[in-house]
A and B are shown apart, each in its own frame.
Chain A
């Protein structure tokens, strides 16, 4: 299956650590990327590959993968981190790019 499954909504207290997950069989053979999207804005790449951050992304964002599940961890969540987060990867068998359904992160 080419699907990537994410929790629809997650909340975290300000300053606490939160882990968002993305599950799918394709993650056993391909890496995941993570995007942050705020209302009215284009998505922004925050994590890619094993655990790489593009220039300008705070180091409180980190990524990991175990088996069929990729995780995005935000250590010390800030109010500015409140956004929708999407995972993304590729089904190499089907030559198909896939997005997860997204997780709405609320910072309390």
Chain B
């Protein structure tokens, strides 16, 4: 079973950029056709999908965050990353990385569930 682990600062100041990395182990980020995703959960709220990226670099985003979110992948380190610019208190959340959301298929990107999740990391936005 693939394992994922989020890392990054737990505190970010307003207007700055939130940067998180997810390291994939017991499996490779380049194995299979999976996309790799970021999902967040604000305190006491539900799950919000942020975006998904394939190891080839193909990515798609939640329309509500597209202007501020950017995903990247480093296959040499089996990692993928999230950058979220111009953060506010509303971006305070537990951020999860996960495998799935899509897989590379003949139609482009087809749906697949999130079958492996990281433990999550709390990021607070505060001065």
Contacts and interface: CB of A to CB of B under 8 A. Distances in A.
A42 B46 contact: no
B111 A42 contact: no
- What is the interface of chain B mostly: helix, strand, loop, or mixed? strand
11 contacts: A30-B111, A33-B114, A42-B118, A90-B101, A90-B111, A92-B111, A96-B62, A97-B52, A98-B49, A99-B46, A99-B48
Interface of B: 37, 39, 46-49, 52, 60, 62-63, 96, 101-102, 109, 111, 113-115, 117-120
Interface in A4-43: 30-31, 33, 35, 37, 42-43
Interface of A: 30-31, 33, 35, 37, 42-45, 48-49, 54, 86, 88-90, 92, 94-102
A56 B101 CA distance: 21
Contacts, number: 58
A102 B49 contact: no
Contact of B47 (A31, A44, A95, A102): A102
A96 B63 contact: yes
B111 A95 contact: no
Nearest to B117: A42
What are the 5 tightest A-B residue pairs by CB atom distance, in nearest-first order? Answer: A33-B113, A90-B111, A48-B113, A42-B117, A97-B49
